[in-house]
């Protein structure tokens, strides 16, 4: 009976898409779904509206209110247009930038959005082709725009696409604008409320000129070009995994002085189906397999892969046995900040007003490196919009020199306000050259950091709980962790508990202090006497609860890595049992 009621509801909703406000192909597809005896497809497409959240839209492409199509994208753009017109009513001309990735329909959604913005009297700078996400962020500030959007689903599977909204600082929208835009998007009742007829006079195509200005700025990120000059023939393999990185990353590496960059030919083909990988995610070893195969063939020093919108980078290098190993997101972030901080100190560039940023679930080893080099390290929530917020708050007062997160994103500059694989690829290549200059491989440099600052092993556990009952289970788990925090983890006493929902921290003596964060967030953290850290949070986009485990060991020499790693894994196993995961 319940199912019949649901079918009745989705049928009524789908029939509203059979009006002249929707194109003939869309109407034909809706009729096909309505006529199908199996209503699964119809239910999936219409049982809810694709929600415009604080990160924009993301979903499977297709016809229906719960799908990415020109109408759901159109509703988002119309709502954003309405919000911009209210917020910048005093400006003679509001303007926006539109970028997109390599995905199927990305160009269509970008052009559709350009028409809608222009129909609302908003000036549009539309990139002539796919471009990396960080370049769109750069262009918003560079061209003095009030907003911008990027059509991308990042590293999601090929069936997905997405829509991210940015504000005038080039960062993804935060409060109060995120909620304001959501309200305006929610107010769009149907396709009839969307102005699809564009004004070509308000749409300007951009491309090479902005590319050059962006790449010139990326070049300024280089700290020690002399090391590159001495190792310009260092062999690098790069793959864009069919995505936007191919537009600028090989060119950027050449501008920095690297003369021996090889690309994976099969993956230098723009293709939203990502035919050569299971998933276009540089966090997964499989996505780098073709690049590593090429690296073995030519005896390269470094492998790099960017995700489809080129904001994240995954790297691989040779270990002490000559075997190719992946460097994880925490290690990558640590290499970046170690290099920047120690080089700044060595070159006498520290003036006392520098700061760097990491997310709360990223390794605490970075904080140790910052403290030792007398540079302020800030903690923020997961997501680059929070790192961008810290930059914006200190603009003109302090100097940002780098920030990153465990999920393979890093930003070395402040002229972009989102993670940037273009500058990150160039900088990690410079770090490899600098290591070589000092008689080390990148892997040996990583081991030396562990020897100096202590060993840290990070491990993420995702507990999937689908459906309504799953959501209730996740809530119950969080409630239980709040009410009954662990007293010990991995054989070490819990000495500090941080609850970002109440914005309070409690130490083992029972003393309570406030947490200085911009807003509450459903995250719990436990810190132990010997430096272990456990973070727990429900995912904001998927039906799962995430556990980030970080355990500490000492590592007296490079050769002690295997022992430290094995001991840490054993401790991770104990903590997992204690947490019931």
Closest CA to 15 of 194, 190, 197: 190
Query: How do beta strands 57-60 and 160-166 pair?
Result: antiparallel
Q: Which two tokens stand for residue 387?
A: 């790192």
- Number of neighbouring beta carbons within 10 Å of residue 7: 14
Nearest residue to 388 (alpha-carbon basis) of 176, 169, 179, 175: 169
| Six-digit token string for 225 | 């070009």
> 363 near 330, Cβ under 8 Å?
yes
Distance CA 64, CA 34 (A): 12
Structure tokens at 71: 């109408």
Pairing of strands 147-151, 95-100: parallel
The bridge status of strand 354-359 relative to strand 399-405 is parallel
- Which residues, 6 or more positions from 243, have their beta carbon under 8 angstroms from its beta carbon? 101, 102, 130, 270, 280, 306, 307, 308, 309, 310
CA–CA gap between residue 420 and residue 410 (Å, rounded): 6
Could you give phi then psi for residue 245, rounded to 5 degrees?
-55, -30
Q: How far is CA 297 from the centre of its chain?
A: 31
* Distance in angstroms (rounded) separating the CA atoms of residues 225 and 427: 10
Are 410 and 419 in contact, with CB atoms under 8 Å apart?
Answer: yes
Cα-Cα-Cα-Cα torsion 132, 135, 136, 137, nearest 10 degrees, comes to 120
Is the distance from CB of 249 to CB of 312 less than 8 angstroms?
Answer: no
Of the candidates 542, 545, 546, which has an alpha carbon nearest to the alpha carbon of residue 59? Answer: 542
| CA gap 237, 43 in Å, rounded | 45
Q: Is 491 left (phi over 0), alpha (psi -120 to 50) or beta?
A: left
Q: How is the beta sheet containing 203-206 ordered, strand by strand? A: 57-60, 160-166, 147-151, 95-100, 123-127, 203-206
Element (H, E) at 236: strand 236-239
φ/ψ of residue 228, rounded to 5: -65, -45
Helix axes 365-372, 442-453, angle to 10 degrees: 80
Given the residues 65, 81, 95, 154, the one annotated as active site: 154
Active site residue 279: no
Catalytic residues: 154
């Amino acid at each position: 009976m319940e199912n019949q009621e649901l079918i009745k509801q989705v049928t009524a909703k789908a029939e509203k898409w059979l009006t002249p406000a929707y194109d003939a192909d869309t109407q034909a597809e809706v009729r096909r779904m309505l006529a199908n005896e199996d209503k699964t497809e119809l239910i999936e497409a219409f049982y809810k509206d694709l929600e415009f959240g604080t990160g924009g839209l993301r979903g499977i492409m297709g016809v229906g209110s719960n799908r990415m199509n020109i109408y759901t994208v159109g509703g988002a753009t119309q709502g954003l247009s309405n919000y911009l017109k209210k917020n910048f009513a005093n400006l003679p001309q509001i303007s926006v930038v539109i970028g997109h990735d390599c995905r199927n329909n990305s160009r269509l959604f970008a052009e559709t959005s350009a028409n809608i913005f222009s129909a609302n009297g908003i000036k549009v700078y539309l990139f002539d082709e796919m471009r990396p996400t960080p370049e769109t962020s750069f262009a918003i500030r560079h061209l003095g725009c009030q907003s911008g959007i990027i059509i991308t689903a990042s590293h999601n599977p090929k069936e997905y696409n997405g829509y991210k909204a940015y504000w005038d600082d080039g960062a993804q929208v935060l409060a109060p604008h995120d909620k304001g835009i959501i309200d305006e998007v929610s107010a769009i009742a149907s396709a009839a409320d969307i102005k699809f007829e564009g004004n070509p006079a308000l749409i300007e195509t951009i491309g090479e000129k902005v590319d050059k200005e962006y790449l010139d700025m990326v070049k300024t990120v280089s700290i020690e070009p002399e090391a590159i000059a001495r190792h310009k023939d260092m062999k690098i393999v790069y793959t864009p995994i069919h995505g936007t990185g191919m537009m600028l990353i090989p060119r950027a590496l050449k501008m920095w002085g690297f003369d021996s960059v090889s690309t994976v030919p099969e993956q230098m083909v723009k293709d939203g189906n990502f035919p050569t990988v299971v998933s276009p995610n540089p966090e997964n070893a499989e996505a780098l397999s073709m690049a590593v195969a090429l690296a073995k063939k030519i005896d390269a020093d470094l492998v790099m892969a960017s995700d489809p919108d080129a904001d994240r980078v995954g790297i691989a290098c040779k270990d002490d046995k000559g075997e190719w190993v992946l460097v994880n997101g925490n290690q990558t972030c640590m290499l970046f900040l170690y290099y920047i901080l120690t080089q700044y100190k060595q070159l006498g560039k520290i003036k006392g007003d520098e700061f760097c940023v990491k997310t709360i679930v990223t390794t605490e080893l970075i904080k140790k490196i910052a403290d030792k080099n007398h540079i302020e390290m800030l903690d923020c929530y997961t997501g680059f919009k929070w790192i961008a917020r810290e930059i914006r708050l200190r603009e003109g007062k302090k100097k940002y020199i780098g920030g990153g997160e465990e999920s393979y994103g890093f930003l070395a500059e402040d002229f972009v306000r989102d993670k940037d694989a273009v500058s990150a690829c160039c900088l990690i290549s410079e770090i490899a050259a600098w290591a070589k200059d000092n008689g080390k491989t990148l892997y040996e440099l990583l081991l030396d950091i562990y020897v100096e600052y202590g060993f840290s092993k990070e491990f993420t556990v995702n507990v999937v709980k689908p459906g309504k009952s799953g959501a209730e289970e996740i809530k119950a788990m969080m409630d239980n962790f709040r009410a009954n925090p662990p007293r010990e983890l991995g054989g070490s006493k819990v000495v500090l508990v941080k609850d970002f929902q109440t914005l309070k921290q409690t130490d083992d003596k029972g003393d309570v202090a406030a947490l200085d964060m911009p807003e509450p967030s459903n995250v719990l953290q436990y810190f132990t006497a010997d430096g272990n850290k456990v973070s727990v949070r429900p995912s904001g986009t998927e039906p799962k609860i995430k556990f980030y485990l970080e355990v500490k060991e000492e590592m007296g020499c490079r050769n002690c890595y295997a022992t430290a790693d094995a001991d840490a894994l054993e401790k991770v196993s104990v903590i997992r049992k204690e947490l019931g995961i």
